[in-house]
Structure 1
Amino acid sequence: MSTAIRTIDATELADWILGVRTGFHVSAPATKEEVEARRDGTDLSRTQGAFDAGRCVGTFRSFAQRITLPGGTAVPVSAVTNVSVSATHRRRGLLSRMMERDLRAARERGETAATLTAAEYPIYGRFGFGPAVSVATWEVDTARTGLDRRRGTPDDGGRLDFVDGATVRELAPALHERVRATRHGVVDRDERWWRFATGDLPRADWTEPFHVLHRSPDGSVDGLLTYTVDETWAAMRPQNTASVRDLVAATPAAERALWHFLLTADWVMKVNTGPRAPDDILPLLLPDPRAARITSQADSVWLRPLDVPALLEARTYAVPGSLVVEVADPDGYAAGRWLLDAAEDGASCVPTSRAAELSLSAGDLGCLLLGDESAGRLAALGRATEDRPGAAARADALLRTSRRPWCPDVF
């Protein structure tokens, strides 16, 4: 019997959730409460299932998202998530069929790209995705930082306050939008995200965290820190580890103040930072940067261009200049030869018959769009071709950014 792929309806959601869990080697079915909570936050028109003999053996979902490009403009993208194929149905083209359906629908909706975080690296390159954002995590030995533990208040004249989840839901969304508008790679967070992050929606693995707000001297909310503490004692001495769930700040002063607060907290001997940009300020914030050691560094957000002109015209550029880029895309969405003209007052990107200067795949263009990857490195790898000498260096001068993109969220 052939496997049918279709958009699911509300009556199939429990079977679909079981399909997701089976694909990720989780055997427990969803409870009625979990199904109801998922139903409220799932756009069924963007949720696909692959069914064989009545069982859901493949899953795929997308949702509307906005991601910030260099310069602060947010563009609409299709965020892909909950992708799974049961082990019994691998290598049958189910993912390819579901991906093709979703990308075509995303382009028809006018979404400029598709995004995802990849559970496995080798899967998504063949669909035109490229890693566009990287993250790093640090473990900090607080006893070695050299920070002044006697300082009781932020040095910017602001204040720090513990708050509850309801206050976070009230005040933090506006703060996050301020951050998103200034940091490329950051994605938007809807009301459901904040309810989930503050325990207002049921979660089987929920642990109540601490929330700390930073307020500037004028009273505005400039930063949020959310963390948990794993309490451990040995020989009557605390060995506690604090793990950051979220730390966003709209000002450098607020960011420094929140880190200083957590890294000098009594009884906290180690801090796990959670996902930060690889060029985060944290290690150099410490008088002894060696107190922080990287525990992981990996790709985070992958980006698949669907509308090249819209993406390249929406972002800003480090210097003015022009570049003719030839993009190969077997699916056709990003394929073409494009003339990028970047100026201080904006950029244009149009099809051109001029000779290509730099040639690469859609996925490798995705690597470059947020400024994290180097065209010169892609050329050295044989993944980009300089049709005109010096084109890779010119691409880097145009596209790379002074700070690396960052996305604090996994989706």
Structure 2
Amino acid sequence: MSRRTETDVRPITEAEFPDWNRALNTGFLQPPAVAEEQLEARRRQFVPGRSLGAFDGDRCVATFRSFDQELTVVGGGTVRADAISNVTVTATHRRRGLLTRMMAQDLAAAKERGDVVATLIAAEYPIYGRYGFGPATTMTEWAVDVPRAGLDRRWAAPEDGGRIDLVDGEDVRGLGPGLHGWLRREQPGAVSRTELWWQSRTGLVNMNGTPWTEPYYVMYRSADGGVEGLASYRTDDHWGDAKQPLNTATVEWLIGVTPAAERALWHYLCSIDWVQTVKSGWRSPDDLLPHLLPDPRAARITTQADWLWVRILDVAAALEARTYDGRGAVVLEVVDRAGLTGGRWRLEAGPDGASCVPTAESAHLVLDVGDLAALWLGDASAVRLAALGRVREERAGAARVVDALLRTSRRPWCPDMF
């Protein structure tokens, strides 16, 4: 009988980068061979010490990468985040604790750096709760049946005096970062974007190794000339048997920093000749889109799922970073099996600020650190979690107090995959 050898988990070196990428492609069921152009593009993401690999002999069999990120919290402030991506374990080495070892190493380093939270987009729901992560935002995708939407197909320009123009990738690289920064200041759950993000979405850098085809880019200017919206979309070429157009426009990303910009961009997309379906891409679950249409039922939900997962590394810093519309106090007992940030905390909060300090007082609400993450950005309900048996009230009504403090009028949303 063959014997398993000890698998070494460590930060990779530059020399090991090609093998690490081969394992990464294998884990995500992509062709194992990595094109040189793709490899060079990925090298721009490489930060010494932040890309971990598990090695069985000389072969990389698991991958893990983290990088610096800013996450917007309720009220428009930001916290430092340890963003986690590229997590794979090769099928030959499953169930050996490799992810657990890589995760523990990375989170300990993030805590030491002073990161307030860790973030990730979970490919599978059951994996990350055991590491203290909780689903903090939700994503929704719609497919709009354009003929049913009730819009005037003769639409030619925004009704508010603004204008719509097609632009190119250079315009997007110039205008996009500032526009996204405007959105991010207003949107809890949004994360920072790097220069590489904009370059890869406009064809300057090829991250996935497939031939680049330029999408359409469209810009909205308000009546006073200010740029308030940008979108990227692609179209297919599909016709029915009776020579009827059945084309689909698929939105890759859309930024509207005002309701007028959102309305104009969606109405433009629904007015393109031959387009019968508009696919929205990743949107907030309370996005304005359906109700920007005369018939909201024309926007059919095709996907709705958890999106950004958060792992709190510093309870006090996280709760003090956000704002609160209401006023109140509650004692939270936070259970953290990894021992990174558990304990009993007294939160006193109001419109003028918040204080979160360790306390010996009796707990009002007992909850896992992952459930606190789900509540922190305002999306989840403590009352609902109590009904599910995931949080426990030690004082009657404590869950309602937490909801009154933490829940928000608009839902948090992360526009990005990373």
Give the TM-score category using the shorter length. Answer: over 0.9
Identify the match of residue 109 of structure 1 among 113, 116, 120. Answer: 113
TM-score (norm 2): 0.97
User: For the residues of structure 2 that align with 1:104 and 1:53, how far apart are their CA atoms?
Assistant: 26
Identify the match of residue 301 of structure 2 among 294, 299, 313. Answer: 294
Match of 1:243 in 2: 250
User: For the residues of structure 1 that align with 2:44 and 2:283, how far apart are their CA atoms?
Assistant: 30
Match of 2:43 in 1: 39
Identify the match of residue 225 of structure 1 among 222, 231, 248. Answer: 231
Report the secondary structure of 1:44's partner residue.
Answer: coil
Matched AA of 1:120: E
Matched AA of 2:227: V
Match of 1:11 in 2: 15
Identify the match of residue 177 of structure 1 among 151, 159, 181. Answer: 181
Matched AA of 2:154: R
Map Cα deviations across residues 320-341 of structure 1 (whole Å, 9 max, x no partner): 1111110000112220111111
C-alpha contact (below 8 Å) 2:166/2:218 kept by paired residues? yes
Matched AA of 1:20: L
C-alpha contact (below 8 Å) 2:346/2:356 kept by paired residues? yes
Report the secondary structure of 1:153's partner residue.
Answer: coil
C-alpha contact (below 8 Å) 1:242/1:272 kept by paired residues? yes
Deviation at 1:158, TM superposition (A): 1.2
Matched AA of 1:216: S
Matched AA of 1:41: Q
C-alpha contact (below 8 Å) 1:59/1:84 kept by paired residues? yes
C-alpha contact (below 8 Å) 2:64/2:86 kept by paired residues? yes
User: Between the two proteins, what is the percent identity of the paired residues?
Assistant: 57
1:193 matches 2:197? yes
Moved more, 118-127 or 215-224: 215-224
Matched AA of 1:398: L
Identify the match of residue 322 of structure 2 among 286, 290, 315. Answer: 315
1:204 matches 2:204? no
Report the secondary structure of 2:74's partner residue.
Answer: coil
Moved more, 226-235 or 176-185: 226-235
C-alpha contact (below 8 Å) 2:37/2:209 kept by paired residues? no
Matched AA of 2:130: R
Report the secondary structure of 2:186's partner residue.
Answer: coil
What are the ranges of 5 or more consecutive residues in structure 1 without an aligned counterpart? none
C-alpha contact (below 8 Å) 1:186/1:408 kept by paired residues? yes
C-alpha contact (below 8 Å) 1:318/1:400 kept by paired residues? no
Report the secondary structure of 1:181's partner residue.
Answer: helix
User: For the residues of structure 2 that align with 1:216 and 1:197, how far apart are their CA atoms?
Assistant: 25
C-alpha contact (below 8 Å) 1:336/1:351 kept by paired residues? yes
User: For the residues of structure 2 that align with 1:27 and 1:55, how far apart are their CA atoms?
Assistant: 17
Map Cα deviations across residues 244-287 of structure 1 (whole Å, 9 max, x no partner): 00111111111111011001211110011011111111111111
Map 1:125-144; keep pairs closer than 5 Å.
Answer: 125-144=129-148
Identify the match of residue 378 of structure 2 among 350, 371, 375. Answer: 371
Deviation at 1:25, TM superposition (A): 2.3
Match of 2:359 in 1: 352
Match of 1:53 in 2: 57
TM-score (norm 1): 0.98
User: For the residues of structure 1 that align with 2:89 and 2:145, how far apart are their CA atoms?
Assistant: 41
Deviation at 1:160, TM superposition (A): 1.1
Matched AA of 2:390: R
User: For the residues of structure 2 that align with 1:204 and 1:167, how far apart are their CA atoms?
Assistant: 24
User: For the residues of structure 2 that align with 1:204 and 1:96, how far apart are their CA atoms?
Assistant: 30
Map Cα deviations across residues 326-367 of structure 1 (whole Å, 9 max, x no partner): 000011222011111112111111111111101100010011
Matched AA of 2:79: V
Match of 2:73 in 1: 69
Matched AA of 1:102: D
Map Cα deviations across residues 135-157 of structure 1 (whole Å, 9 max, x no partner): 11111100000112333211221
User: For the residues of structure 1 that align with 2:202 and 2:75, how far apart are their CA atoms?
Assistant: 30
User: For the residues of structure 2 that align with 1:252 and 1:354, how far apart are their CA atoms?
Assistant: 46
User: For the residues of structure 2 that align with 1:182 and 1:27, how far apart are their CA atoms?
Assistant: 40
1:404 matches 2:411? yes
C-alpha contact (below 8 Å) 1:66/1:74 kept by paired residues? yes
User: For the residues of structure 2 that align with 1:325 and 1:45, how far apart are their CA atoms?
Assistant: 35
Identify the match of residue 152 of structure 1 among 149, 152, 156. Answer: 156
Moved more, 231-240 or 374-383: 231-240
Map Cα deviations across residues 50-75 of structure 1 (whole Å, 9 max, x no partner): 00021000100001111111100111
1:385 matches 2:392? yes
Matched AA of 2:64: F
Match of 1:94 in 2: 98
Report the secondary structure of 2:209's partner residue.
Answer: coil
User: For the residues of structure 1 that align with 2:50 and 2:35, how far apart are their CA atoms?
Assistant: 22
Match of 1:326 in 2: 333
Deviation at 1:82, TM superposition (A): 0.4
User: For the residues of structure 1 that align with 2:51 and 2:225, how far apart are their CA atoms?
Assistant: 43
Moved more, 146-155 or 389-398: 146-155
Match of 2:24 in 1: 20
